């Protein structure tokens, strides 16, 4: 057959990505034989420059990884040059080398794409489904691809997020074994143009990583403040004046008064007791004196 569907995907990133994102990019390039690579883009450059880079590389689709604050990872999927484009927050990234799954597939083989039924019900998911099909499906009779179908890309929607998994199809019983990589895409916005333009859809359930970290800090601060208030209340209870209880007249009923003894006043001065010296000490002192005299005489 002839290679008619000439889809080419450019996979690259901005500067400042970590090692896990770099390995994820490499895994996607090995799984997608119709992909191309490029050098990292400077952070100061605008995203519209990517359209020119794709034209120079003769690519009509793009997967761009954007790193911010050295901890947040965003992924752009775009159709060059008209659009549309979608921006995702990438979470829970696990690469091929990290997972060490038992599954395996032929390098360059064509994958099956499996989608959740919700992709056919809502319009923004239907648009994303078409974008995923055009980006991730390997064109038939591609020069670098193999004429085999031995693995499946699954896109599942759970908790308002898209979960990506890669499974091997075992020939004997057609069971599935996970290969990897795996990651979760949290949709932010869908734009009409390529890397910009009017907003077609904005996810109302999306919460930015900065807001999430801020809420965590506020919750920790609230717990500490609550502990301090409890300690202050305990201090006030300890140092507070005790409530005086009035005397109960019934307590004295069963008390028997003690007999009063007459007070004796001594008018005569008491006699001084004679100091009795220890006789043993006197004898010891005399012996020491005798020994000294004996030594001096000798």
Residue pLDDT, tens place only, 67-81: 998 889 999 999 988
What pLDDT, on a 0 to 100 scale, did the predictor assign at position 203? 94
pLDDT surpassing 80 at residue 31? yes
Residue whose token pair is 């801020």: 214
Cis preceding linkage at 84, omega within 30: yes
Instruction: Judge contact between 188 and 88, C-beta under 8 A.
Output: yes
Average pLDDT, the chain: 89
Residue range 90-121, pLDDT digits in tens = 999 999 888 888 888 888 899 999 999 999 99
Instruction: Report cis status (omega within 30 of 0) of the bond before 181.
Output: yes
Model confidence pLDDT, tens digit, residues 33-42: 999 999 999 9
88-to-35, 125, 150, 189, 233 alpha-carbon distances in Å: 20, 13, 28, 7, 48
> Domain extents for the chain?
9-211
**Whole-number pLDDT of residue 241:** 59
pLDDT tens digits, 265-293: 777 777 777 665 666 777 788 888 888 88
Does 244 have pLDDT greater than 90? no
Separation of alpha carbons 79 and 59, rounded Å: 9
β-strand pairing of 35-37 with 9-13: parallel
114: closest CA among 78, 185, 42, 165?
Answer: 165
The string of pLDDT tens digits covering residues 121-172 is: 999 999 999 999 999 999 988 989 988 899 999 999 999 999 999 999 988 8
CA distance 145 to 107: 8
Please check the confidence at residue 208 and state whether its pLDDT lies above 90: yes
Element (H, E) at 68: strand 61-68
Terminal-to-terminal C-alpha distance of the chain: 137
Write down the residue that tokens 């050098």 correspond to: 39
* pTM to 2 decimal places: 0.75
Helix or strand or coil: residue 57? coil
Q: Is the pLDDT of residue 52 over 90?
A: yes
Q: How many CB atoms lie within 10 A of CB 169?
A: 17
Q: Tell me the per-residue pLDDT of 210-219, one tens digit each, with 9 for 90 and over.
A: 999 999 999 9
105 touches 151 (CB < 8 A): yes
Residue 52, CB-side half-sphere exposure with 13 Å CA sphere: 6
pLDDT of residue 276: 58
pLDDT of 46 strictly over 80: yes
Give percent above pLDDT 90 in the chain: 61
Report for 158-167, 174-183, 239-248: range of highest mean pLDDT: 158-167
**How confident is the model at residue 101, as a pLDDT?**
83
How far is it, in rounded angstroms, from Cα 202 to Cα 197?
Answer: 13
The CA-based dihedral angle spanning residues 27, 33, 38, 41, taken in that order and rounded to the nearest 10 degrees: -50
Instruction: Give residue for tokens 């949290």.
Output: 186
pLDDT digits (tens, 9 = 90+) for 209-243: 999 999 999 999 999 999 999 999 998 888 865 66
Query: In three state form, how does the secondary structure of 164-193 look?
Result: EEEEEECCCCCCEEECCCEEEEEEEEEEEE
* Vertex 86: Cα angle to 53 and 33 (nearest 5): 55
Pick the CATH number of 9-211 from 3.40.50.10480, 3.90.550.10, 3.40.50.140, 3.40.50.11540: 3.40.50.10480
- What is d(CA 83, CA 103) in angstroms, rounded to the nearest whole number? 35
């Amino acid at each position: 057959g002839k290679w008619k569907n000439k889809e080419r995907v450019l996979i690259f990133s901005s500067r400042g990505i970590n090692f896990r994102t770099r390995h994820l990019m490499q895994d996607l390039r090995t799984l997608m034989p119709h992909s191309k690579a490029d050098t990292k883009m400077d952070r100061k450059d605008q995203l519209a420059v990517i359209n020119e880079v794709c034209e120079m590389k003769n690519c009509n689709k793009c997967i761009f990884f954007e790193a911010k604050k050295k901890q947040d990872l965003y992924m752009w999927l775009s159709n060059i040059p008209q659009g549309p484009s979608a921006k995702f927050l990438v979470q829970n990234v696990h690469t091929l080398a990290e997972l060490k799954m038992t599954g395996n597939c032929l390098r360059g083989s064509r994958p099956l794409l499996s989608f959740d039924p919700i992709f056919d019900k809502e319009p923004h998911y239907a648009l994303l489904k078409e974008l995923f099909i055009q980006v991730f499906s390997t064109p038939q009779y591609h020069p670098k691809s193999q004429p085999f179908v031995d693995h499946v890309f699954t896109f599942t929607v759970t908790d308002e997020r898209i979960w990506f998994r890669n499974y091997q199809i075992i020939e004997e019983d057609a069971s599935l074994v996970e290969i990897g990589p795996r990651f979760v895409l949290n949709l932010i916005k869908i734009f009409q143009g390529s890397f910009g333009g009017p907003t077609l859809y904005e996810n109302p359930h999306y919460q930015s990583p900065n807001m999430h970290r801020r809420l965590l800090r506020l919750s920790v601060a609230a717990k500490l403040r609550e502990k301090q208030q409890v300690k202050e209340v305990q201090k006030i209870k300890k140092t507070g004046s005790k409530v005086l209880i009035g005397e109960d007249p019934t307590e004295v009923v069963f008390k028997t008064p003690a007999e009063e003894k007459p007070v004796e006043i001594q008018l005569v001065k008491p006699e001084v007791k004679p100091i009795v010296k220890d006789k043993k000490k006197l004898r010891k002192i005399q012996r020491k004196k005798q020994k000294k005299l004996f030594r001096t005489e000798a």
